[in-house]
């Protein structure tokens, strides 16, 4: 076959492959195997789902406002994957459209060449008929050669007809791709309104509204504990980690204190992400070893129990020195009145919405828990409450809104079993279970800013969510 015919054969072969691929793959790619392509006018409208809502119009029996937060349907964020698939499909269609455009330009160019050849071949055929009618005037040999060449060209005529049909098919595909692109663009605009940026803005708006609502909340009563969320796995079985409940919103430093004794090193991380990745920002070498795991960071200072004593130390991170120290009168120490797991956990320092607290036991109170509110500057005891719950029978404890919550164990099956309100000086037995995922809790403290429980669970640093019953303050409340 001559070079022009070889070129024509390659073009025809390519066209056949493209036509076959387009007719089979494109419909399945866009889900149109048996359905005609819809136009933008027939698109099903995607209605927006309601997002986070904060209501404050409900009232309790006393006429006080109740703050209710309603979360959005969980499938709202599931659109992210669909939106991503839609964008990828749109990109494929656009790339396909560009490829077809390039192919069309080549096809048009070659088509002109084919049309010219077709005219020449038809003319050649007519000429041969004329020659055949007058073949007596030509030499038999030359006529036979020309006849053979003509026979070779004759099969190309129906092929050229098919080529013209394929060219029309490509034009139709171009039009369908153009329609499909319009449909996909319309769908993307519908879904795009709820894409990442919009969701991010809605979350920011929700946070602002929730903060405004939370500013109106009085202290709440613990109703439920959920989780835990495992943040990190590190250190020994015993330790403490914490953030400052009085820190600003931009200050998310994390402090980490491994072990319950024989240590003076406090590790600081600029953020929770740095803590998870292990990117320390600073270390502090305390002047004294600590006892237990029940330390607290409050308003930029670390409060801890000095080893082998009932002395409380206030250490400023910013100044890098001790600002105050005071003996907690009559408080047992060095495993005299620890929690059930031991570990020199006699004195538990904690903070809540009201202030700084110390939980411990004394001989004078028969080894039962004593709650003392401390002055954060001088560490002086401002007021104390004596409970009837034995300190050695408590797994851990934490304060929320002036109420002490005590667990009955540090092992599997632990639950919040007892609470004591410093506001009313009354107690009650409770039954609030929580999941002790790693079987041994050696630290459990409430953070009022995060409204969460920080725990050290057998070498795992975990967070528990808490559900509190709140009453919104109104102007009529005194």
Looking at the chain, the number of H-run helices and the number of E-run strands are 6, 22
Model-level pTM? 0.59
Place of tokens 């929690």: 339
**CB-based contact 272:256 (threshold 8 Å):** no
How far is 471 from 53, CA to CA, in rounded Å?
Answer: 18
The size of the chain, in residues, is 478
User: What angle do the packed helices 156-192 and 79-133 form, to 10 degrees?
Assistant: 160
User: Residue ranges of the domains in the chain?
Assistant: 146-218, 222-469
How far is 22 from 394, CA to CA, in rounded Å?
Answer: 73
Residue 305 sits at the vertex; the CA angle it makes with 303 and 308, to the nearest 5 degrees, is: 160
DSSP string, 455-472: EEESSEEEEEEEEEE--B
pLDDT for position 91: 73
**CB-based contact 382:373 (threshold 8 Å):** yes
b/e code 77-108 from CB counts within 10 Å (16+ = b): eebeeebeebeebbeebeebeeebeebbeebe
How far is 32 from 183, CA to CA, in rounded Å?
Answer: 13
**CB-based contact 418:426 (threshold 8 Å):** no
Q: Domain 222-469 belongs to what architecture? A: Beta Barrel (2.40)
CA nearest 294: which of 222, 394, 433, 397? 397
pLDDT for position 60: 53
Q: What is the mean pLDDT of each run of 10 residues along the chain (478 residues)?
A: 42 46 44 38 38 46 51 46 68 70 67 69 71 61 66 65 67 72 69 61 74 67 94 97 94 97 96 96 97 98 98 97 98 97 97 97 98 98 98 97 96 95 97 95 95 96 91 53
């Amino acid at each position: 076959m001559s070079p022009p015919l070889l070129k024509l054969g390659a073009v025809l072969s390519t066209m056949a492959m493209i036509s076959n691929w387009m007719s089979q793959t494109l419909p399945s790619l866009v889900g149109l195997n048996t359905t005609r392509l819809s136009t933008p006018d027939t698109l099903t409208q995607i209605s927006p789902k309601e997002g986070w809502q904060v209501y404050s119009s409900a009232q309790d029996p006393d006429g006080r406002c109740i703050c209710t937060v309603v979360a959005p349907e969980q499938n709202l964020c599931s659109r992210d994957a669909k939106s991503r698939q839609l964008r990828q499909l749109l990109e494929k269609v656009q790339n396909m459209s560009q490829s077809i455009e390039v192919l069309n330009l080549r096809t048009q160019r070659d088509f002109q060449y084919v049309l010219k050849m077709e005219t020449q071949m038809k003319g050649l055929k007519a000429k041969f008929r004329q020659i055949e009618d007058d073949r007596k005037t030509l030499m038999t040999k030359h006529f036979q050669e020309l006849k053979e060449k003509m026979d070779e060209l004759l099969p190309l005529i129906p092929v050229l007809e098919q080529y013209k049909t394929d060219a029309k098919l490509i034009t139709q595909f171009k039009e369908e791709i153009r329609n499909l692109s319009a449909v996909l663009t319309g769908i993307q605009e519908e879904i795009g309104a709820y894409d990442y940026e919009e969701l991010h803005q809605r979350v920011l708006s929700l946070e602002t509204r929730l903060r405004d609502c939370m500013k109106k909340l009085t202290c709440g009563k613990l109703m439920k504990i959920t989780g835990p969320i495992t943040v990190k796995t590190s250190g020994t079985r015993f330790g403490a980690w914490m953030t400052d409940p009085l820190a600003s919103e931009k200050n998310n430093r994390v402090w980490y204190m491994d072990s319950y004794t024989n240590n003076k090193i406090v590790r600081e991380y600029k953020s929770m992400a740095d803590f998870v990745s292990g990117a320390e920002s600073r270390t502090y070498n305390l002047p004294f070893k600590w006892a237990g795991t029940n330390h607290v960071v409050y308003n930029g200072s670390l409060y801890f129990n000095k080893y082998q004593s009932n002395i409380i130390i206030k250490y400023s991170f910013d100044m890098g020195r001790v600002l105050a120290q005071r003996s907690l009168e009559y408080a047992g120490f060095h495993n005299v009145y620890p929690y059930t797991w031991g570990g020199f956990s006699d004195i538990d320092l904690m903070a809540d919405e009201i202030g700084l607290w110390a939980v411990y036991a004394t001989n004078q109170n028969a080894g039962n828990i004593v709650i003392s509110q401390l002055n954060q500057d001088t560490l002086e005891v401002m007021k104390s409450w004596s409970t009837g719950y034995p300190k050695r029978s408590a797994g851990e404890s934490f304060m929320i809104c002036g109420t002490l919550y005590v667990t009955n164990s540090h092992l599997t099956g632990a639950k919040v079993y007892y609470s004591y309100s410093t506001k009313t000086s009354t107690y009650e037995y409770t039954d609030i279970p929580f999941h002790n995922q790693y079987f041994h809790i050696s630290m459990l403290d409430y953070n009022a800013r995060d409204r969460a429980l920080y725990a050290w669970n057998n070498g795992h640093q975990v967070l528990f969510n808490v559900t509190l019953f709140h009453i919104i303050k109104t102007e009529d409340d005194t």
